[in-house]
Amino acid sequence: MSSVVARRRYLTNFEVQRLPHLFTDVLVLGSGIAGLRAALAAADECDVVVVTKDDATLSASSWAQGGIAAARAGFDSTDQHAEDTLRVACELGDAEVTQEVVTQAPRQIDELVSWGVRFDREGPDLAVGREGGHSASRILHADGDATGREIIRVLLERARAHPRIRIFERCFAIDLLTGDSRVVGALTHHAKYGHQMFWATTTILASGGVGRVFRETTNPPIATGDGLAMALRAGAILRDMEMVQFHPTTLYVAGAARALISEAVRGEGAYLVDRDGGRFMERYDPRGELASRDVVSRAIHTEMRRLQQPCMYLDVRHFQQGHFSRRFPSLARLCADFDIEPEHDLIPVRPSAHYTVGGVVTNRVGETTLPGLLAAGEVASTGLHGANRLASNSLLEGLVFGKRCGELAVKRSATHPPLSQPLPLSHRIPQSMRTELDLDDVLNSLQSVMGRNVSIERSGDRLRETIEIIEFWSRYVLDKVFDAPRAWETQNLLSVALCIATAAATRCESRGTHYRSDFPQSDGAWRCHIDIRRADDRLQVSTTPAAETT
Ligand SMILES: Cc1cc2nc3c(=O)[nH]c(=O)nc-3n(C[C@H](O)[C@H](O)[C@H](O)COP(=O)(O)OP(=O)(O)OC[C@H]3O[C@@H](n4cnc5c(N)ncnc54)[C@H](O)[C@@H]3O)c2cc1C
């Protein structure tokens, strides 16, 4: 069936003659770990513009707590790190990509240290912690539980000081521009300067995930899937969008936003318990509290339903006195804000949407299916995470693929002459006669329906119903032209939600983060990726066999 989501190529009207133009070798969309690392790699030999829709410091990257995975210690090995990553990926991970990324990890850490990132130490060595799904302690962290903030501090300082990098903050990328059969830059909106056209030899998408499509999420407000929706509109392939990771432990205080309680807390020995202090994880997995996230999230979800409770609890009361607040200073402050004293009280937790496992499909160097467009970080589907992401592998992926994309952009600039004239592009959307819906209301309702029907447990009838509802709202929201970021974000969220629900309805099995109550087992016939693109006014869904996993 024709879908209004698939019909839209651009979200807004524009005429090239009427807009200001900026030219650069490399345009980076996003200032998280992937975008900044890409910009720094490209700026050695190219002019780089970074466009970011809020303050450059606001990103999932800067909110990352637990750490970054790297097998550096003598008792560990990159082979073990690769094995753990592939096990969690549930036969959809790409063995070659995984091996390459984990092999790069120690070098990436050394580079960050040489640039001034202050990872926590134990004596002269970098301290390492343990997280679920990892068979060894290999998680490096900074300021206890503020790893992302420290890494972004250093990357941003370097980028701001670089003479060939310009950062445009509060500049919203609306759409990728395509002409001459390739991506040639982006149309943006700045609160002060209005619409602008950035023309670039290479555009690097590093715009993060889409956690905000769910009401309960750990993600910052920027995580509205703009990059995913832009790429879909421009014709790129989105892969495995049904794979959304739910973090098992976010602080549950009714009425408050869901704040993440890092996996590292369980890595330090915290128990998961019910209201009466009874541990339950052993019943679900022999690894207990250190099972992978999908297993722990489902276990908590099942216990909540069984006991008719809104949450389960983390128990750290057996920690040595003062250990919790020394090791997790930000979390101790967070608990204190709600009068929770972890040394004496149980910490109420429940799962929330955390990480977009699927994304814009790329090859091993970050190239998407669209010439001129590279992608890195959470927006991309590189093959590293497969059906589920191993904890602390995403900062690592952002670094490795950010760097690769930056380096590839340098190579492309050597062979492709830079644009010096705008291409004659324009777009006009016919005026719609349909009534207007209240966008805040649509967004609230979308987040609710996604939480009810497309979260930890899914079923075919609920997914089909969700697709119908999203299509309905889309007919009234994607037919119109708006002029504010909040409205574009809502349009993007609807588009990406449709892809998530469509992919989830297509995959008739359970695997990784995707659990279908009507197909509770994995099925070898589904050892494949689900790809979505827009073609002929409809969302075209197809499958691609999974790569070798050994
Ligand atoms: C609370 C929390 C804790 C986490 N902890 C860890 C951890 O300990 N270890 C780990 O490995 N991973 C962790 N993760 C996941 C990890 O932080 C992210 O997956 C990763 O940082 C994503 O990096 P990124 O550069 O791809 O995107 P982000 O860091 O999200 O950056 C996206 C950027 O794109 C910009 N952007 C988005 N849309 C637009 C637009 N339309 N126009 C212009 N700019 C735009 C944003 O403003 C932002 O600058 C955590 C995530 C969260 C939310």
Q: What does the alpha-carbon distance between residue 185 and residue 198 come to, in Å, rounded to a whole number?
A: 5
Write out residues in the chain with pLDDT < 70, as ranges.
1, 549-550
The answer as to whether 330 is a domain residue is yes
**29 CB-near residues (< 8 Å, 6+ apart):** 35, 51, 52, 173, 186, 203, 204, 205, 206, 207, 227
The answer as to whether 335 is a domain residue is yes
Helices vs. strands in the chain: H and E counts, helices first: 15, 23
The answer as to whether 132 is a domain residue is no
Question: Which domain does 282 fall in, by range?
Answer: 248-352
The answer as to whether 461 is a domain residue is no
Q: Could you tell me the CATH number of the domain that includes residue 342?
A: 3.90.700.10
Into how many domains does the chain fold?
A: 1
- Choose the catalytic residue: 138, 239, 258, 293: 293
CA of 32 to the centre of ligand 1 (A): 6
Given this model, what pLDDT does residue 258 score? 80
The answer as to whether 84 is a domain residue is no
**C-beta separation of 379 from 359 below 8 A:** yes
Query: Tokens for 424?
Result: 């004659």
Given this model, what pLDDT does residue 550 score? 65
Question: CB of 355 closer than 6 A to ligand 1?
Answer: yes
Active-site annotation holds for 293: yes
Question: CB of 206 closer than 6 A to ligand 1?
Answer: yes
CA of 223 to the centre of ligand 1 (A): 7
Question: CB of 394 closer than 6 A to ligand 1?
Answer: yes
The answer as to whether 218 is a domain residue is no
Given this model, what pLDDT does residue 549 score? 66
> 51-60, pLDDT tens digit by residue?
999 999 999 9
> 349-362, pLDDT tens digit by residue?
999 999 999 999 99
In this prediction the pTM is 0.96
The answer as to whether 444 is a domain residue is no
Instruction: Pick the closest to residue 183 from 358, 28, 304, 74 (CA basis).
Output: 28
The answer as to whether 502 is a domain residue is no
Given this model, what pLDDT does residue 325 score? 94
